[in-house]
Structure 1
Amino acid sequence: MKLYRFLSAPDDNSFCHKVTAALNKGWHLFGSPTYAYDKKTESMRCGQAVVKDVEGQEYGPDTKLSDW
């Protein structure tokens, strides 16, 4: 199965740690990172899509992406 996640966090080191953790679990960057202003919190947020191929498994709506 092919999995997709969009990671987001405030523009601080928590974002880099979140992406780094995903990369170390076998996820791969997909596309360019994004950067946007969050009007509600009056702060900048970062985002990055990641993908992962998992052999021998089938995707279903109950698949918990963060487990992979």
Structure 2
Amino acid sequence: MRAYRLLTGEDDSAFCHKVSEALARGWVLHGDPAYAYDAGSGRMRCAQAVVKDVEGAYAPDIKLGDL
């Protein structure tokens, strides 16, 4: 099965580390990153989709971060 995650966070080094950790764990970038201004916090927010091929079938209780 192909698993999909959308990583999100503030535009800072913590977000970059989140994406880097996913890549180190075998996830692959999927599409371009997205950026948006969060008027509530006054900060930029980022999103990056990642995918990973894993064994087994999809189930709604899969913890994607553990794959």
TM over 0.5: same fold?
A: yes
Corresponding residue SS for 2:65? helix
How high is the sequence identity, in percent, across the aligned residues? Answer: 58
Deviations 1:8-60 (CA, angstroms, capped at 9, x unpaired) = 111110111000000000000000001100111110011100000002x1110
Return the alpha-carbon distance in structure 2 between the equivalents of residues 63 and 41 of structure 1.
31
Matches within 5 A, 1:1-68: 1-55=1-55, 57-68=56-67
The two structures have a TM-score, normalised by structure 1, of 0.94
Equivalences, count? 67
The two structures have a TM-score, normalised by structure 2, of 0.95
**RMSD of equivalent CA atoms:** 0.7
In structure 1, stretches of 5+ residues that fail to align are none
Flag as ranges the 4+ runs of structure 1 deviating above 3 A. none
Letter in 1 for 2:57: E
Return the alpha-carbon distance in structure 2 between the equivalents of residues 50 and 24 of structure 1.
12
In structure 2, stretches of 5+ residues that fail to align are none
